[in-house]
Each structure stands twice: as structure tokens, then as C-alpha cells.
Amino acid sequence: MSDSTQQKISNGVKTRFAPSPTGFLHVGGLRTCLYSWLFAKKNNGKFILRVEDTDRQRYVENAVENLLKMLQTMGLDWDEGPFLENDKIIQKGDCGPYIQSERLEIYQNLAKKLVEEDKAYYCFCTSEELDKMKQDQMAQKLPPRYDERCRKLSKIEIENKLKNKTPYVIRLKVPEEGTIAFTDLIRGEIKFDLKDIDDQVLLKSDGFPTYHLAVVIDDYKMEITHIIRGEEWIPSVPKHILLYQYFNWPLPQFAHLPLLLNPDHSKLSKRQGDVTVEDYLSKGYLKEAILNFIAFLGWNPGTEQEIFTLEELIKTFSLEKIQKAGAVFNVEKLDWLNGCYIRQMNIDELTKQCMPYLEQAGLIKSLNFGWIKKIVALEQERLKRLNEIGDLTKFFFLDVLEYTPELLQWKKMDNQQIKDSLSQTCAILEKISSDEFTAKNIMDNLSPLKEKIGVGEMLWPLRVALSGLKSSPPPEAIAEVLGKEKTINRVNQAIEKLK
């Protein structure tokens, strides 16, 4: 079959995201969703959500609700499908139901139709027979596949087994010779030899469809024009094309996305780190940064621009700019992007988003938003993830800092020189009134001492005395936030350490 049969449905572009409720949303699923959403928006089309819950063994309670909440959180809206309203799932649209387990009769009737038209057949093999078949093939170093024994059953044998209520599945009857070809919008023409295609199970013995039957029926019935999904589904395409042919339905367009890879180029998996969107949000990655980062996992606009809003992505996105090779999930790049977004944030909003992490760290005893905002503002430039805020700002909330006296040393200063530096600094700070204890006034007053003993000799011991850290915001900025009393107490505590 040539790809010329592929055609667009006349009423415009329509894409879908069709996850299985088997847990939390994977970053790979989010990328599929984002690309499908962007393509629909770019082409003034429709984007629908469908729940593929026919694998009942892997079904997770409340996974659908979690999925809907997560997509809402990420700001990816949809035109049809299940929606969450007052904690209840409501389905909207003309092509429903949008939950596969509510469409069983549709799949069963169409599977039976294929059998009646000799395009599929009943298979009565037991799991024991199938296991032995597989073992025998592996012993002969053959690829495991169904040997088509039930395809050869006579009409009378089939009728007797059905009459005796022998459990069965329905299998696709794949032609024994020929080729199937289609044009992938990312990879170009792909061909398959039909002799390499297994007689796929379409309907299981429990009456539930397999993915292959349900996805074809649903994509056609829901008028999907462009199927955007991971490259792991490429081997399934010939089976799906056969079903489109057997039903005499027009083919949609296919676009298969590159794999997501770990830095060592293995497939992205839980074994090597976080893979769910929840994981990244809980660590303090902003949704805008996650979407921006995910957009670049396989796609590139061909320009130097790296920071994109969703609106900019809609204008720029195209399937032609998606690469074929696997995309490496580089957390360092995500950290950099997230830092860029944090630096662009309004300080009030950033402080609000940092509050839960400060509470988790046990640092907030009483809510003083104005004071906490000053602390967050000092770390805004250095912050890469919101969950870093506790470690970066812990020293502001402590009564006594824990650090070794050696940390106070700048280059080859001895203890007496450090004490002299801190004592002179403290004397100057004592003379500044509490009302005028600002970073600018502090530096203006300390400037003569800085010129006299040296920049590092004055500022380094003061930085460590106020923060207990090697790396921190400027000491005068810390002092302003701490206030005069706390600042002088900390300088005196540092002097005590040197005795």
C-alpha cells in the first residue's frame, strides 16, 4: 500500500493525547501532550484528551483525576474529553465517551465485524499452549510469534468451540505477503514487510480490546487527523494501517517523536532519576520552565532564542523541526532555564511560592511576609530551584551559626588580624542608627576601613560572621535584612570563636 491513501479529514486539524491511568504523568507523556497541543493551536485546530484504560491490571485508582489536575496545572487546555469539575469527572464533546472502558461495545462489535468479513479470526489457544509455542521457538532461535494454528481451523471446529463456550481472543488476519508503507511527518517514508508482522490480538478473552484495536477505532471515530506519539509505536503502525484498510477508513497523518534519553544515552527511566512531572514540580521547578525545557527535547526553532512562552512556542512550533535522533534529558539545562524564569519573577509571587519550602524546612516560626520577601530577594539571582531556598537562607533564621573559626580566615590572616578586622567593623556598625541600617549606609561607613586594611580582609570575615558560609549574598545586604542588633550579635559571636 502506498502512503497516497493518507488524507486529512476535511474539518481541520485535530490531535489527541491519550494516556493510560497507570500512575503519575511521565515527562515523556507531557512532551507528547505539549507537541500535540502546540500543533493543534498552531493550525487553529482542536486538541482532545482520551483516557486509554483498557489495561485493567495496570490501572491505578485516582490516576485519571491526578492526570487532569496535572494538565490543568501545566496550563494545557483541551477541547473535548474528560474534565474535572467539583472533584467529579465530566465528559464533554460530540465524540464520546472519551474513556475507553466505556466504549467496550463499540470495540466488540467492530471486532466481530472483522471476523465476519474474514479479516480477523477466533483464537482458542490457552496461555499454556502459547507459552510452550514461545519456548519451542526460542529453543530453535526463532523470533517468538504466534504460529497461526487457529487461523487454519475449519468452520465446523470454530462453531463447536464457540458452542462449548471455549474462551477465545480475536486476532488480526495479516496478509502473508506484500509490503506496507507510510510517510511519517518526522522520519519520511517507512516500509514494512508483511511477512514480519504477527497476527496481533485485537480483542482479549475478557472482552476488552488491545491497544491496537481501540486506538484505531477511537482515532477514527474521534476524527483525529494527526497522531503524534513516541517512536516506540512505529512497529505497530503496519497493524494499524491494516485495520484502517480493513474498515475502509482514511488514514490519519503520523509523526513519531524521538526517544528521551538519560545523559548516558540509555532510555529515560525511573532507575536513573525522576521521571514524573510531579517529581519536578515538587522540587521547585516552575511549570513555565518545565514546558520550555520539554519543548526543546527533540525540537529546535533553528534560532538562538532559548526562552519561550507558550504563546511564542505556538507561533514557532512545527513538526518539520523535530529531530529523529534521541533527545538527552539534561537536568543541568533544566536548572539553568528554571533559574532564568526565577530571576524574571515578581518578588511577591516568588516569595509566595518559596513559603511552602521554608515551612517544610522548619524555618518559619511566625509569618512576617515583608521580612521573608527581603530574604528571598537576596537569593533570587542564585536560586535555581525553589526547594533550594531553605538551605540558601537557613542562616537568616538561626540564633547561633555553626561554623569553624578557620572559615573566618581570608588568605593568610592570623586570628589576631581577623579579630581586629571584626572589632573595628563592629565599632563602626554600632554608630549607625537602626533606622539607617541599610546596605548602602553600611558600605559607606565601612569604606574607610576597607581602604585601610583591604577589601578581602574586611569583607570576608564579616561575610562568614553573618552567614557562616563561604558563599552568600554580600555581607552589607545580609546585615540590612538581619537588622542592627542581630548583625552586631553575630559579629561578636565570631570574635568569641577566635578566643
Q: Which residues are catalytic?
A: 270
Torsion-angle region of residue 478: left (phi > 0), alpha (psi -120 to 50) or beta?
Answer: alpha
Is the CA virtual torsion 90, 94, 99, 103 positive or negative? positive
- Which amino acid, one-letter code, is at 36? S
- Which amino acid, one-letter code, is at 27? V
Instruction: Say if residues 123 and 150 touch (Cβ distance below 8 Å).
Output: yes
Q: In 3D, which of 139, 111, 102 has the Cα closest to residue 204?
A: 111
Distance CA 343, CA 297 (A): 23
- Which amino acid, one-letter code, is at 375? I
Distance CA 9, CA 54 (A): 27
Distance CA 163, CA 155 (A): 12
Instruction: Say if residues 374 and 473 touch (Cβ distance below 8 Å).
Output: no
CA 452 to chain centre: 55
Q: In 3D, which of 354, 428, 459, 336 has the Cα closest to residue 396?
A: 354
Distance CA 426, CA 422 (A): 6
Instruction: Say if residues 80 and 46 touch (Cβ distance below 8 Å).
Output: yes
Q: Where are the alpha helices (DSSP H) in 164-286?
A: 211-221, 237-247, 277-282
Instruction: Say if residues 342 and 350 touch (Cβ distance below 8 Å).
Output: yes
According to DSSP, residue 2 is labeled: -
The two most distant CA atoms of the chain are separated, in Å, by: 107
57: exposed, middle or buried (Cβ count in 10 Å: 0-12, 13-18, 19+): exposed
Q: In 3D, which of 126, 130, 127 has the Cα closest to residue 138?
A: 130
